[in-house]
Every structure is written in C-alpha cells, then in structure tokens.
Amino acid sequence: MITSPLTIQMHEADNVAIVANDGGLPEGTVLPSGLVLRDHVPQGHKVALVDLPADTAVLRYHVPIGYALQDIPAGSWVHERLLRMPPARELEGLPMATVPAPAREPLTGYTFQGYRNADGSVGTRNILAITQTVQCVAGVVEFAVERIKRELLPKYPHVDDVVGLAHTYGCGVAIDAPDAVIPIRTVRNISLNPNFGGEVMVVSLGCEKLQPERLMPPGVIPIADRRDAGAADAQGDPLDVVCLQDTQHVGFMSMIDSVMTQAKVHLERLNSRRRETVPASELVVGVQCGGSDAFSGVTANPAVGFCADLLVRAGATVMFSENTEVRDGIAQLTARASSPEVAEAMVREMAWYDAYLQRGRVDRSANTTPGNKKGGLSNIVEKAMGSIVKSGSSAISGVLSPGDKLARHQRGLIYAATPASDFICGTLQLAAGMNLHVFTTGRGTPYGLAECPVIKVATRSDLARRWHDLMDINAGQIADGEKSIEEMGWEMFRMMLDVASGRKTWAERHQLANALVLFNPAPVT
C-alpha cells in the first residue's frame, strides 16, 4: 500500500497528474516536487502541476483532454466541471496506414489445451448452447436448461455447461429494415461460437418473424449442414429445431421433453470430445473495459495492451472494440492500420456510429458514467486515451461490423466495431468468435459471460483487496511499484493459456453471467 504522496504523470509534457494514494491526498499535502495541494484531491483525480490560465489546454497522455473554463492555480483539483471538452476529430484528412508495424520476433512454443472443431476453430470450453429465435420461448428454454443441468449433465462429464442463448429479439420488430441485419447475424454468429463445438440446436415458437430458416439459412452452419447440398455424399444433419407450436406438443411438459430429447443428441457428441494441445495462435481474445477509472489507462489497460502484443506475436487474434471509447483516438488508429483499406473501413464504422448517435440527438459525451467521473475521468476524451491502450501497438489488420464473424484467415489485431456498453460489446465479441474474454475495471463490476470465460483485471490494489474473490488479476501492483507493465502483461498471457486450458475464473466459479444484449438500431414495431 502507498503511504507517501504519489502522483502519476503519463507524459513529461502533461500539465496534470493523477493522485495514486488510497483515499486521495488532503489539502496542504506537499508532493515530492515541492508542489502544495490547494484542495483535497480524491484518488485517481487530477492535480494541476502548473498554473493553468483560462482556455489553456489540459494535457494528459500528451493529448488535450479539455480546456480550462477558468484560471486553475497549480496544486488545484482539476475535475470535469472546470473543463470544456474538445470537439470530436473530423473523419477527414486522417493519417491512413502511415505507422509501420513494430518489428518483433514471432513468439513460438506456447500452447493450451483446447477443443478442436470440425470447421478448424478451437474452443476453450465445451458447452451445449440452445439458440432461441424469439424472446417468447425464453421461459421454456430456461426451465428446460435447469432440468438438463440437473438430470442430464451429470451423465456427460466432459461437457462443461448448458446455456440458453436468450435475447429480446425475434418479433415485434421491423425485421426487413436495413439495420435488422445486425441483430439477426449476431444471434446466428453467437450460435456458431467456437465454445459450442459446432452443435446447433434451435428452439422456435412458430409464429415469430425471425423464422429458423431465416436465422440459420442453408450453408451458414460449417461442416454439419446438408440443407443446400444436393450431392449424395453430403455430410451433416439438417437444422435441429424444436417448435413449441407444433401440434405434437400437448401441454408444457411435452415441450420440455422435446427440448431434452434433442439436447441428449448434442450432449452425446459433445461428450465424446477431449481437450488436446493446440498452439496459442488459436486464441481469439476479446478485450474490454467497464466501470473504468483514471487508473484504467495507467495500469490494467497498458498491461492488457502489452499482452495483446504478445498474443499477436504468437499468431493469435485480439479484438478491441467500443466505438465511443476510441472515437477521440481515431487518428492514432487509422495511422496504425495495416493498409489504407483497413483504415477506410475503420472510418466507415466511426461515421456510421456518429450518424447513429446523431439520430438519437446525443454525441460521444453521453458515454461517461457517474462512476467514471468519480474515478477521476473527466470526460470521454480522457477515457478514450486510456481505453485505446488495450490494443497495444501492433498493426490493425482488420475491421468487423457489428455482429460479423471473424473469417478463419483473419488473425492479428482486429477492430470489432461495437457500442461501448459492456453487455452489448461482450455479446458482439461472442458473435465475432471470441473464445476468451479479458475485462478490466477500476470501479468494480461482477460482469461475466456464461458462453466464454472472462478474466477480470482490477486497476487498483484497493479494489483487488476488497473484491478478492471477483478479480482474477491485480494490475494495481503497477501503480504500487511492485510490478512493471511488462511483468503484468506476461502474467496475463500465462493466465490466459491456463484459463483457455480449463482453469476456472472467479466469474465461472460463482456462475456469474450477464444477459446477452443485442444491438438493434432498427425500429421496433
């Protein structure tokens, strides 16, 4: 624990620093530089290192995070009420693929124990997922899943879990609207996540707009799909659908029995699978932050960024996301694109999302929460600078639109365009093919996913101590001077391989799982 006054300055040119001490520092504290605090400055909040006259750019990360609304004397607490937020960077005249990728040696010899799938992907878990075409069937599926877990799952010891992929879509929506493609492909692609072993089982009501054949048209199920194949040697099974309105169902328990009967077929196949040694290149890691504070960009996110570079060197895939939380760093990102085409794709996604926000009469500033501000983040610009560092320094090799799925050839650092909402971002990263999730937090959140292991990283040692059975890694040791960013990045990398091989995270041990939340920009009727 830090006892002497400690502030953290991210760049030598910054004119503010954040207070690292638990509980902050009181008025009158003398910093090692000799600066005397004029106010009590809470932990994670900024102190002016020099006099800041009105309209002066306040610099953190060597970036203007705001402009002083009044004179701010040195030693003062600098918070959001004293700052005018800069306008968003225009999406024209950006540097496009101007920064070459750092030259690094490939990282070889690292492996984990995973489940190989017929389509070539690899799962970190062996889960039976039951897809739903419409929210109407969610209660029935939930009831069935509880019975499957209680009565069937013990008979299949090599199956990790059974999950119902509940969502709030499927009917009462403008299903032919242009943007309806986003929630539809999201549900489809989540069903094909590597952790589900290629076993696709669907529960339908019968009268919904999102019919099973529209959700899963012929040809979308890799390997095990013969619906569009006329050849005699076609492999696989037709789409497995339990339709609750079928006349064969007489009473509620008849529906449950049908779901359980079909579940047995899939459980048998999943139970025959075994973990095998696979290279670290088969990891598909989604990185995300939520409940962020000013330490996110100092400890946890830089360590995740270092780890992301290790993963890319090992041939793995890393996805970073959160449109509003990278929007103010768009010039940094387009410059790091591997080609002008990748940079242009990123600009298209940002422009689309800008227009989406404008239709709702808000802008990126609506992102920051009361908790973010209490944790020292004055506005979305400051938050974005800390968020981007999760992506490390590798070249950005591809861009995914919301709900899209990674192609097998896509490796390296990928920008998956998603809203910043924790649960929507996680849902879309699952759809993209994520088989392992890393989630950093400074304020604290019990976030988890039933479909994928989530490694939780605390930005502060105080949070890690208080939430000792919720946080998997304490990146606060960086601020405490106990570990370097590099050491913490390697610790994350090794833990990822362990978790991918079956080690349970705290969220898994407590069975903490957030609901899937679809991004639906189309109208609801």
3-state secondary structure 265-315: HHHHHHHCCCCEEEEHHHCEEEEEECCCCCCCCCCHHHHHHHHHHHHHHCC
Of 402 and 409, the structure prediction assigns the larger pLDDT to 402
- Tell me, what amino acid is at 95? P
382: pLDDT confidence band, cut at 50, 70 and 90?
very high
**Cβ atoms of residues 119 and 225 within 8 Å:** no
pLDDT in tens, 264-315: 999 999 999 999 999 999 999 999 999 999 999 999 999 999 999 999 999 9
The predicted model gives 193-208 an average pLDDT of 97
pLDDT for residue 223 is more than 80: no
Dihedral of the alpha carbons of 14, 463, 372, 354, in degrees to the nearest 10: 90
Distance, CA of 495 to CA of 442 (rounded, Å): 20
- Say what the pLDDT of residue 228 is: 62
- Say what the pLDDT of residue 217 is: 94
The predicted model gives 254-258 an average pLDDT of 98
pLDDT for residue 234 is more than 50: no
Beta strand pairing call for 16-19 and 46-48: antiparallel
- Tell me, what amino acid is at 253? M
Which residue in the block uniquely carries the two structure tokens 């990360």? 61
Q: Enter the pTM of the model.
A: 0.94
Task: Report the DSSP beta bridge partners of residue 130.
Answer: 164, 201
Distance, CA of 330 to CA of 343 (rounded, Å): 10
What SS3 string covers 455-508? EEEECCHHHHHHCCCCCCEECHHHHCCCCCHHHHHHHHHHHHHHHHCCCCCHHH
Distance, CA of 434 to CA of 9 (rounded, Å): 34
Distance, CA of 299 to CA of 247 (rounded, Å): 59
